Structure 1
Amino acid sequence: MGHEMVASNGTGNGGGRRTAKPHAVVIAYPYQGHVIPAAHLALRLAARGFAVTFVNTESVHEQTARALGVDRHRYDIFAGARASSDHKEPLDVRYELVSDGFPLGFDRSLNHDQFKEGELHVLAAHVEDLLRRLVVDPASTCLVADTFFVWPATLAKKFGVPYVSFWTEPALIFNLYYHMDLLAEHGHFNSSKGPPRKDTITYVPGVPAIEPHELMSYLQDTDATTVVHRIIFKAFDEARRADYVLCNTVEELEPSTVAALRAEKPFYAVGPIGFPRGGAGGGGVATSMWAESDCSQWLDAQPPGSVLYISFGSYAHVTRQELHDTAAGVLASGARFLWAMRPDIVSSDDPNPLPEGFAAASAGRGLVVPWCCQVEVLAHAALAGFLTHCGWNSVLESVWAGVPMLCFPLLTDQFTNRRLVVREWRVGVPIGDRGKVFPDEVSARIQGVISGQEGKELRQALRKVTAKLKAAAAPGGSSQRSFDDFVDELTHRCGGGGGRTLMT
């Protein structure tokens, strides 16, 4: 199955590319939480004079086109951004598709392990075919690929181009995966010496101390032979060979971790990437994989600071029991709420998982929608709190908007993100844990955050953290400077000249 070309704005025109400017091939990991920051990174590079080819999988493209109700054969996610760009020249962003090795009708959510095996063994061959066409001039080209891919360093070497590893999660999590061998050596993960140790981990560079239950779910697992573990091991073998790492974080929020990683390799904290904030190609990228409901009218009708927003993100699943217990707690709290519940939150086989009678019981104070524009919802004056799975994009968006979080992590990085939110920044509270969520705790936590003393303290702490995040992203801020340094280095490396040489 070859890739399918989208005939729009020069898309598919790899062969005729001018080589006067540096060319970045940006390849997004096929999940919404990864596509969003990758697409915004592509725009930021284009705004800085790069020719960019953005590569999406056919499957993600198809789902996005379906969400928007447009023809997938003619659709290009950057069309809006090009049209709204305030640059003298239109942004040079091409859009290409690659097969992930499965037919479009294959249910990737229901057949998770099979899909991941394809990611491990099949995707690289499709990407290699595409790169053969796109890499016309290796001297001016770089490969910017999500760290979780298992092939970027290998393919970059094969084509003679630098590999920029794009990490869409906090530096803390990159650091822990980067030092999996240390965790194994000390018996905290994947140990041949028996069950993993449960004492505090104090030996990871740049991490003062972390509890085993705060590690990513995959590092808490006792079986490290699953397909996801094999992907992580291979991806970080490749990441060790990356020329540069770009991280969607802010130095002031993770100072010791970022410093430790900089000692390992060229590591740039350039966050937050992935939601509009003006500047380089801010908005106009259509990346939602579900049709978005407009909730603004409903929110406008609610009192300021009264609404709990609930969303478990674009990927992780909850059990029907967890959903029912959460719903019972939301009802018992008496709070107004807006719940974004994507259709496959429990399973794509279970389209209506809320408890019977929930809609009637919450009529007048609650709204359930399949999906919405989260950045817009969080920015609304009616918002008082966010019950979240703690995906990294959600955490950054909530901090940016100054909304305190109730943290219910489900898998992967979310447990470690909760540690940052609750323990380090003190801008959220824990609310149950996987398989252990209790309606009375949910209800009490919601009341505490929305109208109690707890909420006041969280909002006070949030003001400081939000200020750090916004200062880093502002002109002259640490993330902006870091991105400038990265662009200079990459421009120099990719034959564009004019950039300062920052590293020898």
Structure 2
Amino acid sequence: MAGTPRKPHAIMIPYPYQGHINPFVSLAMKLAAQGFTITFVNTQSVHCRISRAQKWIDGSDIFAGARDSGLDIRYATVSDGFPLGFDRSLNHDQFVEGLIHVFSAHVDELVANLADSDPPVTCLIADTFYVWASAIAEKHNLVSVSFWTEPALVLSLYYHLDLLKENGHFGSQEKRQDIIDYIPGVGTIKPTDLTSYLQADEIWTVVHRVIYRAFEDVKKADIIICNTVRELEYNTLAALHRKQPTYAIGPIVSDFTNQTVATSLWSETDCTPWLNEKPNGSVLYVSFGSHAHTTSKEDIWEIAHGLALSGVNFVWVVRPDIVNSNDAKFLPVGFENSIKGRGLIVRWCSQMKVMSHPAIGGFMSHCGWNSVLESIWCKVPLICFPLFTDQFTNRKLVVNDWKIGINLCDRPSITREEVKDKVKYLMSGQTSEELRNTIKKVSSTMKNALMSSGSSEENFHLFIENVKAQMNKKDGLAFEVRGEPLNHVWAPPAVNLREQTI
């Protein structure tokens, strides 16, 4: 009926990497529980990898169980422009070029084909790293939502790339190394705490071109949502919100819902029987994420020797492609025999299932954002070993700002003695007591944000109201958000950030 507000129907498109797919799936579940119709889009390649990991033979729909429980989540796959047999990891740069120039045409075709769906599509929720999202949303008269799956601090650094350039901290022959203190809402940050791409000498790689275009595109979005917590990145979020509507709705972690949706791109080993035999807090979990190809064989050897020397129990996720070489045998000779009984090496596992086990007492991590959030959720302090992208900036938050972890190394290479000492420190309940007490407080702050009166839950509902208001605006209907104009700027009350954070 003309003049009647439509039911929201969002197309959701994650970036085709594990760390982006997981929060998108959890958000889809939560939006569907609030009455949204969701069409979730994976690339055909991602879907095939999930199917192989789950040993499906019938091309199962990952959201079939969610629909059985009453959630209106539809599932679609679309070509990323490459054959299924194309090695996207080995040919990374060519693949990313395709995501820039080719993938958008396939997405555009899919959106056009959904034009007659019931209910009609009203909203596009796309990963911030897609450079074409606002153009597709505008073409099809959809509300454009940019979903940022990393911390607000990293979003703000990329958002204000022009300031870094103007001041010679990026893209300059001068390449200043003094403290950066001019990014709105950020306070101060050292150049060594910038993302790897902002520290790089070569600034015209394919990833840099994605960053440049994506962070011009995000400024055209109707709404930005962030997988973070207002209390943990208070000033940064407030500054971003003054630019355009920005909502912190995190943490969006994989146990966000009791519904089980298959998302893993690798077959998972169940570590529970092994962990059940270990004392509480005695096991170190070691994982460098789903996209670690920058690890050297030398670093892996030193970590292995350091773990062996520490005498600590550990679970180590070692993917076959973890090192930046074609050497399939990158662990030291005899290592696996030397750690029998106290070391478990697996190719992949459910991280939240492992981290939430009472035997886990610490996490040696690359500091991917999902890993940081999950570590806080499970109250497990970290040893930080960032490898690339946002991980260096995430380490700053973990070690310097929130004080819930320690740094493994500040030098280009690491030593086994360093690994041994840091592991023994973290896993000693007495010496790391302050870290453990602090992460409990940060975890409490995080979980409180998801309570019915918490900041993330409040922001989530404000975000939904804003989506509906923007839908009405596009339909020519009157719109307000809780009685206030849509351009109302969230003005945070004055608080002591340190006290509220920990």
Which of these residues, 39, 48, 63, is aligned with residue 78 of structure 1?
63
1:323 aligns with 2:309: no
1:373-418 alpha-carbon deviations (Å, 9 max, x no partner): 1001111111110000000000000000000000000000000000
1:297 aligns with 2:242: no
1:314 aligns with 2:294: no
In structure 2, C-alpha distance between the alignment counterparts of 1:501 and 1:25, rounded to whole Å: 28
Q: What does residue 235 of structure 1 align with?
A: 214
Matches within 5 A, 1:365-404: 365-404=342-381
Q: What does residue 195 of structure 1 align with?
A: 174
1:170-229 alpha-carbon deviations (Å, 9 max, x no partner): 0000000000000000000012xx131000000000011000000000000111110000
Contact 2:253 2:374 in 1 (8 A): no
Which of these residues, 10, 30, 41, is aligned with residue 44 of structure 1?
30
Look up the SS of the partner of 2:129 in the other structure. coil
1:95 aligns with 2:75: yes
TM-superposed CA distance for 1:120, in Å, is 1.5
In structure 2, C-alpha distance between the alignment counterparts of 1:54 and 1:433, rounded to whole Å: 41
In structure 1, C-alpha distance between the alignment counterparts of 2:427 and 2:192, rounded to whole Å: 27
Contact 1:35 1:287 in 2 (8 A): yes
In structure 1, C-alpha distance between the alignment counterparts of 2:170 and 2:375, rounded to whole Å: 31
Q: What does residue 338 of structure 2 align with?
A: 361
TM-superposed CA distance for 1:31, in Å, is 0.2
Count how many residue pairs are aligned between Structure 1 and Structure 2: 475
In structure 2, C-alpha distance between the alignment counterparts of 1:273 and 1:476, rounded to whole Å: 17
Question: CA, structure 1 residues 347+201, in 2 after alignment: closer, same or farther (shift >3 Å)?
Answer: closer
In structure 2, C-alpha distance between the alignment counterparts of 1:432 and 1:134, rounded to whole Å: 50
Amino acid at match of 2:241: R
For normalisation by structure 2, the TM-score amounts to 0.91
Question: CA, structure 1 residues 130+276, in 2 after alignment: closer, same or farther (shift >3 Å)?
Answer: same
Which of these residues, 412, 416, 421, is aligned with residue 439 of structure 1?
416
Look up the SS of the partner of 2:31 in the other structure. helix
Matches within 5 A, 1:63-462: 63-71=49-57, 74-83=59-68, 85=69, 90-136=70-116, 141-191=122-172, 194-278=173-257, 282-317=258-293, 318-346=295-323, 349-433=326-410, 435-451=412-428, 453-462=430-439
In structure 2, C-alpha distance between the alignment counterparts of 1:453 and 1:211, rounded to whole Å: 31
TM-superposed CA distance for 1:342, in Å, is 1.8
In structure 1, C-alpha distance between the alignment counterparts of 2:120 and 2:33, rounded to whole Å: 21
Which structure 2 segments of 5+ residues have no match? 488-502
Amino acid at match of 2:103: L
In structure 2, C-alpha distance between the alignment counterparts of 1:180 and 1:462, rounded to whole Å: 31
Question: CA, structure 1 residues 289+226, in 2 after alignment: closer, same or farther (shift >3 Å)?
Answer: same
For normalisation by structure 1, the TM-score amounts to 0.91
Amino acid at match of 1:175: S
Q: What does residue 3 of structure 1 align with?
A: none
Contact 1:407 1:428 in 2 (8 A): yes
TM-superposed CA distance for 1:501, in Å, is 5.7
Percent of counterpart pairs with the same letter? Answer: 51
Amino acid at match of 1:48: Q
Matches within 5 A, 1:5-24: 20-24=6-10
In structure 1, C-alpha distance between the alignment counterparts of 2:277 and 2:286, rounded to whole Å: 18
1:81-122 alpha-carbon deviations (Å, 9 max, x no partner): 333x3xxxx111010111111111111111111111111211
In structure 1, C-alpha distance between the alignment counterparts of 2:162 and 2:120, rounded to whole Å: 35
Contact 1:110 1:348 in 2 (8 A): no
Question: CA, structure 1 residues 348+45, in 2 after alignment: closer, same or farther (shift >3 Å)?
Answer: farther
Q: What does residue 15 of structure 1 align with?
A: none
Q: What does residue 43 of structure 2 align with?
A: 57
Look up the SS of the partner of 2:243 in the other structure. coil
Q: What does residue 4 of structure 1 align with?
A: none
Contact 1:39 1:274 in 2 (8 A): no
Question: CA, structure 1 residues 53+277, in 2 after alignment: closer, same or farther (shift >3 Å)?
Answer: closer
Question: CA, structure 1 residues 203+356, in 2 after alignment: closer, same or farther (shift >3 Å)?
Answer: same
In structure 1, C-alpha distance between the alignment counterparts of 2:76 and 2:210, rounded to whole Å: 24
Question: CA, structure 1 residues 343+174, in 2 after alignment: closer, same or farther (shift >3 Å)?
Answer: same
In structure 2, C-alpha distance between the alignment counterparts of 1:385 and 1:467, rounded to whole Å: 18
In structure 1, C-alpha distance between the alignment counterparts of 2:324 and 2:198, rounded to whole Å: 25
TM-superposed CA distance for 1:134, in Å, is 1.6
1:51-87 alpha-carbon deviations (Å, 9 max, x no partner): 110011111111111111002x53111123333x3xx
In structure 1, C-alpha distance between the alignment counterparts of 2:455 and 2:328, rounded to whole Å: 44
In structure 2, C-alpha distance between the alignment counterparts of 1:442 and 1:348, rounded to whole Å: 22
Look up the SS of the partner of 1:54 in the other structure. strand
Q: What does residue 491 of structure 2 align with?
A: none
In structure 1, C-alpha distance between the alignment counterparts of 2:165 and 2:470, rounded to whole Å: 36
TM-superposed CA distance for 1:452, in Å, is 5.5
Q: What does residue 493 of structure 2 align with?
A: none
Amino acid at match of 2:101: H
TM-superposed CA distance for 1:433, in Å, is 4.9
Look up the SS of the partner of 1:305 in the other structure. coil
In structure 2, C-alpha distance between the alignment counterparts of 1:475 and 1:375, rounded to whole Å: 23
In structure 1, C-alpha distance between the alignment counterparts of 2:248 and 2:14, rounded to whole Å: 18
In structure 2, C-alpha distance between the alignment counterparts of 1:195 and 1:135, rounded to whole Å: 51
1:30 aligns with 2:7: no
In structure 2, C-alpha distance between the alignment counterparts of 1:118 and 1:352, rounded to whole Å: 32
Contact 1:140 1:494 in 2 (8 A): no
In structure 2, C-alpha distance between the alignment counterparts of 1:161 and 1:105, rounded to whole Å: 34
Contact 1:143 1:162 in 2 (8 A): yes
1:467 aligns with 2:444: yes
1:260-282 alpha-carbon deviations (Å, 9 max, x no partner): 1111110000001131144xxx4
In structure 1, C-alpha distance between the alignment counterparts of 2:329 and 2:266, rounded to whole Å: 16
C-alpha root-mean-square deviation of aligned residues, in Å? Answer: 1.8
